[in-house]
Amino acid sequence: MLNRRRFLKSIAAAAVAPAMTRSCRATDGSPGDLRADPDGILDLPDGFGYRVVSRAGDAMSDGLRVPAAHDGMAAFEGADGRIVLITNHEMNTHWFEGSPFGEGYEDLPESTKALLYDRGADNTPGLGGTTTTTYNPMTGTTEKQFLSLAGTEINCAGGPTPWGTWLSCEECFRVPGSRTDYGHLITRDQPHGFVFEVSSQAGSLVAAEPIKAMGKFEHEACAVHADTGIVYMTEDRYHSLFYRFIPNVPGKLHAGGRLQALALDDHSSVMTHNWSSQPQTMLNTPMKTHWIDLDDVEPVANDLRLRGAEMGAATFARGEGLCVAGDRFAFTCTIGGPARIGQVFTYTPSPFEGAAEERDSPGTLTLIAEADENSLLRNCDNLTMAPWGDLIVCEDTADHCGLVGIRPDGSQYAIADNAYSDSELAGVCFSPDGKTLFVNIQYPGMTVAITGPWSA
């Protein structure tokens, strides 16, 4: 990544503390600083270790099986020092052997089937959703695990809310009816492409209710502005939009609201990916923004992003990871930049975010990083803000993927490396006390809890 010296000014002082920078010993920013894992799961720096929290196919407390394809995730404070993890499972329509039901869907009680969003004519139910896991960091054991959202599809990322829920996003666009998918005839009773909310306090599977006002499109990630309850969202398409949802009632997303798309002042319909010989966005140059109201947010055709761009919204190259980053929001574009291996943007909200006064004091968009062939980080995806102020970013490359830390000065260091499979890493998040870093190895599906001298 290139120069990021202006990144997260508000917490730069915390970032220069000798926390992760020393404990990872990443003096040259290469994965060579990591030690090989004798168990062939995840390479880590000296002094760090992991425990497996969740593994696809294992039996859960509710009698179902842990689904495969672990993706986006968040950690919440549980009772008596426990940690509650809510994990997305990016399950496609045909992968029955990787689903929580296996071949036993028809044997489920009606009371369970009734909670699924899409039963697929009780023949091909939606296989995506979320699991909720109670993890005891004092003993390093998983104490409870159950299916908490079901009948959805391709639940990729999402984001936690300040009120203790997880927003799970469907990265797909489906209409009711039948189709052939990977040689399988699939029936859908419901449309797909929505956001669903799952409470960290729920103790079992709950009814799946889409938040339709947040739009029907290929959702990726969410992040919430705590002061206003506004939800920002990314979209995983080559020419995607950056969205915000202004709720009618903060914290009550099902009560409706307005969906908008980000636009740049004086740059109508700008393509931010910088693939052309004339870059449209410059590093470390804040650009004033405004927001465009979107209509028909539950379209029959998958054209919401196209209509938004025609109205002047900026487009991004596969918007993916999104997180709260101090006083702003950081998000990744997996194939942005001239080398098409990643960009990182920040959006700084207006002091009057979502109100009429923001016209005179608008929010700003800043390209803070753009990967080139010399970058350690490739194809950035899910990300989180570390307690000491660095970004911790998951890779999604064609080669083996790792976790990379990025300091405010732009330098990078390796935290972890999956040298044992082609799976991406996903769902990176810290425990509420900052002592444990959780990350998913997506295929076939595993969550690990990493501990070590984060504050050494």
pLDDT at 12: 28
Exposure class string for 154-180: b at 16+ Cβ within 10 A, else e: bbbbbbbbeeebbbbbbbbbbeeeeee
pLDDT at 273: 94
Give which of 179, 212, 223, 382 is closest to 304, Cα–Cα.
212
Domain ranges of the chain: 9-451
pLDDT classification of 278: cutoffs 50, 70, 90: confident
**Is residue 270 over pLDDT 80?**
yes
Whether the Cβ atoms of residue 70 and residue 418 lie closer than 8 Å to each other: no
Whether the Cβ atoms of residue 399 and residue 321 lie closer than 8 Å to each other: no
pLDDT at 19: 27
pLDDT at 262: 98
CA distances to 230, 343, 372, 395, 396 from 425, in Å? 28, 18, 21, 6, 7
Q: Is 31 helix (H, G, I), strand (E, B) or coil?
A: helix
In CATH, what is the architecture of 9-451? 6 Propeller (2.120)
Cβ atoms within 10 Å, residue 355? 12
pLDDT at 455: 63
Q: Which amino acid is at 326?
A: G
**Is residue 170 over pLDDT 70?**
yes
What confidence tens digit (pLDDT) does each residue in 343-397 have? 999 999 999 999 999 999 999 999 988 998 888 889 999 999 999 999 999 999 8
pLDDT at 47: 94
- What mean pLDDT do residues 225-232 have? 98
**Is residue 40 over pLDDT 90?**
yes
pLDDT at 453: 92
Query: First CA to last CA across the chain, in angstroms?
Result: 26
Q: What is the pTM of this model?
A: 0.92
- What mean pLDDT do residues 445-455 have? 92
Please give the mean pLDDT across all residues of the chain.
Answer: 90
pLDDT at 56: 97
Whether the Cβ atoms of residue 313 and residue 292 lie closer than 8 Å to each other: yes
Least confident of 1-5, 249-253, 276-280, 368-372: 1-5
Whether the Cβ atoms of residue 234 and residue 242 lie closer than 8 Å to each other: yes
Task: Report which DSSP code applies to 146.
Answer: E
pLDDT at 27: 36
Q: Which residues contact 219 (CB under 8 A, 6 or more apart)?
A: 156, 157, 158, 169, 170, 171, 193, 194, 195, 233, 234, 235
Least confident of 14-28, 111-125, 131-145, 255-269: 14-28
- Alpha helices, DSSP H, located in 18-109: 20-23
Give which of 296, 55, 250 is closest to 305, Cα–Cα.
296
